[in-house]
């Protein structure tokens, strides 16, 4: 009985603490600068939709270009390979000349962008062709450090692709009516060796990340504690036979290399091949999933808006991504209400626990969709799991904190809402292993840890389940953050 009363007392105490945080957050909404400081420190779990090259800030691209004596094309305002002749100058000049540097930063990002002759969509996607030969794989440490600074603990970076030799194999093999035959041709032509070379690329990225962050000497630094996984990207604008070889390579890679946890499709969804071949590409994913059933799939789908494509182009991408494409998560999902029978689709996504990676800043600058026009509140109303992500934090000149701030202020969210999305960002991640939670209401933890996280059963469970380990760590971070908000730890008013 005494234990019951004590438990009741603890629950009441926790409820009181949560109410105090809600009150504090309601006050902070009136002061965005203070709100930013609050959200910057708040634990954020994972960023599940993050393109490696788009996450790098222009300043870093320019620095690396200068160090390696690459060139800046002063007309195109892009980094290009040597020789630095005609309109091109040594990139070191962009480190010494503020006018050139500023023009280049604006060209490599959405900074100072104004809608005009070039749409936000076109300016955004054009930036990726302007990074030149700078290898963004050498810059993963920057992203991990920025994540750690914002109290994030997990990243899934879209970073590897099958352009180049893998697409070359597809071009040679063609696409037979019987895809088993094409698959055999690709294997005979050495697809597996190309998959192995992608693993070599992961080795290189991981080794540079660890060296730059000093993880060997200091493995428990906040940045080294950020768990990084990679997501393989299929370039959807390529011809169909090359998309097919890319898909097979991606599935084989995820099967053989545990650091690569899923496949995704990238490049503009409104592009020529993306639109024309969408159904065919989803059928190809369906085929590959039958060959490699354990591979996780997340798909950009519905990153479209009325006017960008004809109306019928808005009606089926998300539905096909979840049905044919077996997507466990959807990236963006902005045009959901233009799908055929959106209510049934939303209910299906809720029932099948298909989560949506929401990228508010990106949708604003690329599609011009924001505020009431964005379906974020609709997904929440239907109970579809959502989490916030950055998409391209370097190009957008944003970071995850700003995504939380935008969501909170635009949609009048509570701390409870934020906490749920943060928990979603690990629960719906592709980190391996079982969940720390019994179910997705986050009310009770796995029986292995129900008595104590320090007990031997729980320690063993956490050691063997990376996802649960990240989630237990997140709860610890929440406890510390929330404790820091209690009156005793605040500076005394004078």
Give the footprint of Zn ion on this chain (CB under 5 A).
391
Q: Which is nearer to Zn ion, 74 or 370 (CB)?
A: 370
Q: Closest distance between Zn ion and the C-beta of residue 331, in Å?
A: 5
Closest to Zn ion by CB, 142 vs 391, is: 391
Whole-number minimum distance, CB 36 to Zn ion, in Å? 24
Q: Which is nearer to Zn ion, 391 or 402 (CB)?
A: 391
- Nearer Cβ to Zn ion, position 257 or 391? 391
DSSP-derived 3-state class of residue 235: strand
SS3 (DSSP) at 253:
helix
CB of 251 to Zn ion, least distance (A): 20
Which DSSP symbol is given to 136? G
Distance CA 356, CA 322 (A): 11
Name the residue whose CB lies closest to Zn ion: 391
Rounded to a whole number of angstroms, the minimum distance from the CB of residue 332 to Zn ion is 7
Shortest separation between residue 492's beta carbon and Zn ion, angstroms:
46
Long-range contacts of 282-286 (CB under 8 A, 24+ apart): 282/320, 282/321, 282/324, 282/325, 283/324, 284/179, 284/240, 284/243, 284/244, 284/247, 285/247, 285/324, 285/325, 285/326, 286/324, 286/325, 286/326
CB 263 within 8 Å of CB 198: no
Closest distance to Zn ion from the beta carbon of 369 (Å): 14
Using the minimum distance from each CB to Zn ion, give the nearer residue, 391 or 466.
Answer: 391
The tokens describing 184, both together, are 């055999």
**Residue whose CB is less far from Zn ion, 266 or 349:** 266
Question: Closer to Zn ion at the Cβ: 104 or 157?
Answer: 157
CB of 51 to Zn ion, least distance (A): 6
Region for 477 from its dihedrals, namely left if φ exceeds 0, alpha if ψ lies in -120 to 50, beta otherwise: alpha
On the 0-12 / 13-18 / 19+ scale of CB atoms within 10 A, 77 is: middle
Q: Are 426 and 468 in contact (CB under 8 A)?
A: no
- Count how many residues are written for the chain: 494
């Amino acid at each position: 009985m005494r234990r019951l009363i004590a438990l009741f007392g603890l629950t009441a105490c926790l409820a009181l603490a949560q109410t105090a945080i809600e009150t504090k957050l309601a006050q902070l909404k009136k002061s965005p600068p203070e709100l930013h400081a609050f959200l910057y420190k708040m634990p954020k779990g994972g960023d599940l939709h993050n393109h490696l090259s788009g996450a790098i800030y222009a300043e870093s691209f320019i620095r690396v270009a200068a160090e390696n004596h690459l060139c800046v094309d002063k007309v195109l305002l892009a980094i290009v390979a040597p020789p630095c002749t005609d309109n091109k100058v040594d990139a070191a000049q962009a480190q010494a000349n503020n006018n050139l540097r500023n023009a280049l930063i604006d060209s490599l990002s959405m900074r100072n962008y104004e809608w005009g002759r070039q749409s936000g969509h076109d300016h955004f996607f054009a930036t990726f062709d302007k990074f030149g030969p700078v290898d963004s794989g050498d810059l993963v440490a920057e992203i991990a450090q920025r994540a750690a600074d914002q109290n994030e603990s997990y990243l899934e970076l879209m970073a590897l692709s099958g352009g180049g030799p893998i697409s070359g194999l597809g071009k040679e093999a063609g696409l037979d009516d019987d895809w088993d035959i094409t698959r055999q041709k690709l294997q005979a032509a050495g697809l597996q060796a190309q998959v192995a070379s992608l693993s070599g690329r992961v080795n290189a990225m991981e080794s540079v990340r660890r060296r730059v962050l000093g993880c060997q000497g200091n493995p428990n630094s906040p940045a080294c504690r950020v768990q990084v996984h990679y997501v393989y990207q299929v370039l959807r604008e390529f011809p169909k036979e090359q998309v097919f070889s890319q898909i097979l390579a991606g599935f084989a890679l995820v099967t053989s290399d545990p650091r690569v946890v899923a496949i995704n499709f990238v490049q503009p969804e409104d592009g020529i091949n993306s639109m024309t071949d969408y159904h065919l590409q989803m059928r190809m994913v369906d085929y590959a999933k039958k060959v490699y059933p354990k591979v996780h799939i997340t798909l950009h789908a519905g990153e479209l808006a009325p006017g960008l494509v004809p109306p019928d182009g808005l009606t089926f991408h998300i539905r096909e991504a979840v049905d044919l494409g077996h997507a466990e998560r959807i990236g963006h999902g902005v045009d959901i209400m233009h799908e055929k029978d959106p209510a049934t689709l939303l209910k299906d996504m809720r029932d099948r626990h298909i989560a949506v990676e929401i990228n508010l800043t990106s949708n604003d600058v690329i599609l011009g969709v924001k505020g009431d026009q964005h379906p974020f509140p609709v997904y929440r109303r239907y109970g579809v799991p959502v989490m916030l992500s950055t998409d391209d934090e370097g190009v957008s000149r944003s970071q995850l904190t700003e995504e939380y701030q935008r969501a909170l202020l635009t949609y009048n969210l509570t701390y409870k809402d934020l906490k749920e999305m943060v928990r979603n960002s690990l629960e719906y991640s592709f980190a391996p292993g079982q969940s720390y939670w019994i179910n997705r209401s986050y009310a009770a933890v796995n029986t292995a840890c129900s008595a104590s996280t320090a007990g031997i059963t729980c320690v063993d469970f956490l050691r063997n389940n990376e996802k649960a380990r990240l989630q237990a760590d997140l709860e610890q971070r929440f406890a510390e953050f929330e404790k820091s908000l209690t009156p005793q730890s605040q500076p005394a008013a004078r």
